[in-house]
A and B are shown apart, each in its own frame.
Chain A
Amino acid sequence: ETGVTQSPTHLIKTRGQQVTLRCSSQSGHNTVSWYQQALGQGPQFIFQYYREEENGRGNFPPRFSGLQFPNYSSELNVNALELDDSALYLCATKAGGLTDTQYFGPGTRLTVL
């Protein structure tokens, strides 16, 4: 158990809909990153937030957006869902130092029909 929780565990949406995924940070962790893991692939970096500001982004379109709240919990929002968005979405939190360990949550499995 890492202390990082994600909700919901599973989600089924249809193409074109919008979805919000949530992540609760481990105590004392002010940095959160989101990753997309398609079936049979390694996780791909979506973006990172540090103290409520986005400070890094991977090769994902603007319809992937996020928020980090004052308590360092976070949301990932995806608009206009596409079939290829079906994946496991992982959040990872850390205390802020570059080499600090990122602790991953169990993930949210999103299926887009």
Chain B
Amino acid sequence: AQSVTQLGSHVSVSEGALVLLRCNYSSSVPPYLFWYVQYPNQGLQLLLKYTSAATLVKGINGFEAEFKKSETSFHLTKPSAHMSDAAEYFCAVSSNAGGTSYGKLTFGQGTILTVHP
């Protein structure tokens, strides 16, 4: 079984400040990890993914995330927030477990990011 916990349902930062969105995962097999962003009334857009290559993953729009196996974490960061970053962010885990779990994404509850001027 696999699961994702996102700490903090709401995060608020000032424009130009560091963005840190937390994600912890649980997986019985080596995980593949993803961060998606969802703007209001839209589908999900992939920001970045970890698939067992480099542990520091760089994504679009200046976001990056670091896979830490010892901490079972995959936190999302951005050095300087922009007003356009305001959205909901979802961490997700997948695995190469067989059977009916194959390729399935398990999502966290989401974190709403607010950026203040």
* Residue positions of A touching B, CB distance < 8 A: 2, 4, 31, 33, 35, 40-45, 48, 55-58, 90, 92, 94, 98-99, 101-107
Contacts and interface: CB of A to CB of B under 8 A. Distances in A.
Interface residues of B, number: 27
A35 B103 CA distance: 13
A28 B91 CA distance: 26
Interface centre among A44, A57, A90, A102 (most CB of B within 10 A): A102
A10 B51 CA distance: 35
B106 A99 contact: no
B17 interface: no
Contact of A43 (B44, B51, B100, B102): B44
A56 B109 contact: no
A33 B103 contact: yes
Interface of B is mostly: mixed
28 contacts: A2-B45, A33-B104, A35-B105, A42-B107, A42-B110, A43-B90, A45-B105, A48-B102, A48-B104, A55-B100, A56-B99, A56-B101, A56-B104, A90-B43, A90-B44, A92-B44, A98-B32, A98-B94, A98-B102, A99-B32, A102-B46, A102-B105, A103-B46, A104-B36, A104-B43, A106-B42, A106-B43, A107-B42
Nearest to A106: B43
A98 B104 CA distance: 9
B82 interface: no
